[in-house]
A and B are shown apart, each in its own frame.
Chain A
Amino acid sequence: MTDSTDRNPEPGQVRTPDTAWPLFEVFVRGKRGLNHVHVGSLHAPDERMALHNARNLYTRRNEGVSIWVVRAEHITASSPDEKDPFFAPSGDKVYRHPTFYELPDDVPHI
């Protein structure tokens, strides 16, 4: 999600009060039957305001039937690089995919 490095203000800079508003990540369920999907983030003073702001910001045109907001700081992510040994265990297990198995073409419904 959001990288927490380099968030310090420039020396001597006066911070505006809304820096105190935490960052929330927003997830929207587009319609019944679909998963919630990450759509972006916003700042809000608390969870309730975050939900209201998310509705106004990310669902102005019926883009969703349900919204989750979660403080960005509460998200635990896998390592910085999206392609790294963390996902290696699934890389060498080709037998987990249906295409691994060769069957005769004339066997129906399989």
Chain B
Amino acid sequence: MVGTESATVDEQLHEHFTRTIERDQRVEPRDWMPSGYRRTLVRQIAQHAHSEIIGMQPEGNWITRAPSLRRKAILLAKVQDEAGHGLYLYSAAETLGVDRAELTDKLLTQKQKYSSIFNYPTLTFADIGVIGWLVDGAAIVNQVPLCRCSYGPYGRAMVRICKEESFHQRQGYELLMTMMNGTRRQREMVQDATDRWWWPSLMMFGPPDGDSPNTRQSMEWGIKRHTNDELRQKFVDMTVPQAEALGVRLPDSGLVYNPERGHYDFSEPDWDEFRRVLEGNGPCNAQRIERRREAHRDGAWVREAAAAHAAKQQRRGRAAV
């Protein structure tokens, strides 16, 4: 008898959840949700947060070598934003009942992933501009639809992030325009950086639709609003005129406007490379994770000291009362 009743309650909860999604309303932290929905969100938000945190490294790498105080201040602000984005996202993940420290452990022990794009090196200062233009540009295309994600806290975190990403992309493009108006050597640096980052940027949208088994369920749940290939196409269409305005060549001989489709055709990225990098064999995977572990170890005494200070203050406060 009890079993039947609880089955009915479960059905009602499920129905309420489904209705919320169908009406395009938001699911909030204390609502009932299917365990798969919760798991998918935790995985996606954590992976997204880790990407922001690891993403500080390729650019942080150039802060001390920025060519002017202006560029250094901009780069510092940008890297600080990435840390902030990571924290907004960990905050959103915590509303699903996981702990930030637990997620950090999973990153450090490589039980959770981060975006494969950050496993490529930043070889010259032009890379800083190209990351802003292409990598943050791709991130914006990915993230704008996430502002309408069915899970409230994730959507709200994305709204904050998207506002700040716009600065990231524009500072990158401006940096590149400056270099393109400079010497021949500087223009070559921009072209070289574009050649190296173009394909990894296209891979940021994930595997082709036919090879992305979770997409359908995520779309049904309103976590994802567009497929990987739709977003990739949108990014290509947006970027071609930007490359023309800048005067750089995108490294794809198959890139040509298709008037029938109303979109640019482009070649298939090297998905074997994508899988290799995702499996941990990209140029910088080991370095990135080791740097993150080191930072965590080096920061341990600060975290402990702050906690000890807080405990002491609390004891004194109690004694005073």
A19 to B52, CA, bound (A): 21
* CB of A106 closer than 8 Å to a CB of B: no
- Given the known interface contacts A17-B300, A60-B80, the answer about A1 and B29 at a Cβ–Cβ threshold of 8 Å is yes
Interface string of A48-75 (1 = CB under 8 A from B): 0100000011001100000000000000
In this complex, the interface size class of chain A, counting residues with CB under 8 Å from chain B, is: 35 or more
Cα of A4 to Cα of B29 in the assembled complex, Å: 11
Bound form: Cα–Cα A76–B207 in Å = 44
Determine if B105 is an interface residue (Cβ-Cβ < 8 Å).
yes
Interface residue B32 (Cβ < 8 Å from any Cβ of A) = yes
Contact of A3 among B80, B96, B164, B314 (CB under 8 A): B96
With A16-B101, A21-B307, A81-B30 known to touch, is A3 a contact of B84 (CB < 8 Å)? no
> Are B97 and A15 in touch, CB under 8 angstroms?
no
Within 8 A of B (CB), among A23-62: 23, 39-43, 45-46, 49, 56-57, 60-61
Q: Which residue from chain A places its CB closest to the CB of B309 in the assembled complex?
A: A45
B216 CB–A CB distance under 8 Å = no
A18 at interface, CB cutoff 8 A? yes
Asked if residues A3 and B97 are in contact (CB atoms below 8 Å), the reply is yes
How distant is B92 from chain A, measured CB to nearest CB, in Å? 8
A82 touches B28 (CB 8 A): yes
Task: Judge whether B91 and A40 touch: CB under 8 Å.
Answer: yes
Q: Within 8 Å CB of A77, what residues of B?
A: 30
Instruction: Assess whether B240 is interfacial by the CB under 8 Å rule.
Output: no
SS of B interface (majority): helix
B211 within 8 A of A: no
Which residues on B sit within 8 Å (CB–CB) of A83? 16
Given contacts A21-B303, A40-B157, A57-B84, contact A3 B30 (CB under 8 A): yes
Residues of A within 8 A of B87 (CB): 42, 57
Instruction: Decide yes or no whether B100 CB sits under 8 A from chain A.
Output: yes
Q: Which residue of B lies closest to A60 (CB)?
A: B84
Which residues of A have CB within 8 Å of B80? 60
Distance in angstroms from B304 CB to nearest chain A CB is: 5
Task: Tell yes or no: A2 within 8 A of B by CB.
Answer: yes
The reply to whether B95 and A20 contact each other, CB–CB distance below 8 Å, is: no
Closest residue of chain B to A25, judged by CB? B91
Contacts known (A2-B94, A16-B296); A81 close to B32, Cβ less than 8 A: yes
Sample 17 A-B pairs with CB under 8 A, ordered by A number: A1-B95, A3-B97, A7-B97, A14-B105, A16-B104, A21-B303, A21-B306, A40-B88, A41-B94, A42-B91, A43-B100, A46-B309, A56-B84, A60-B81, A80-B32, A81-B16, A83-B16
Binding site for B on A (CB under 8 A): 1-7, 9-10, 13-21, 23, 39-43, 45-46, 49, 56-57, 60-61, 77, 79-83
In order of increasing CB-CB distance, the 10 nearest A-B pairs are: A45-B310, A46-B310, A6-B97, A45-B306, A19-B101, A80-B30, A40-B91, A18-B303, A3-B97, A41-B91
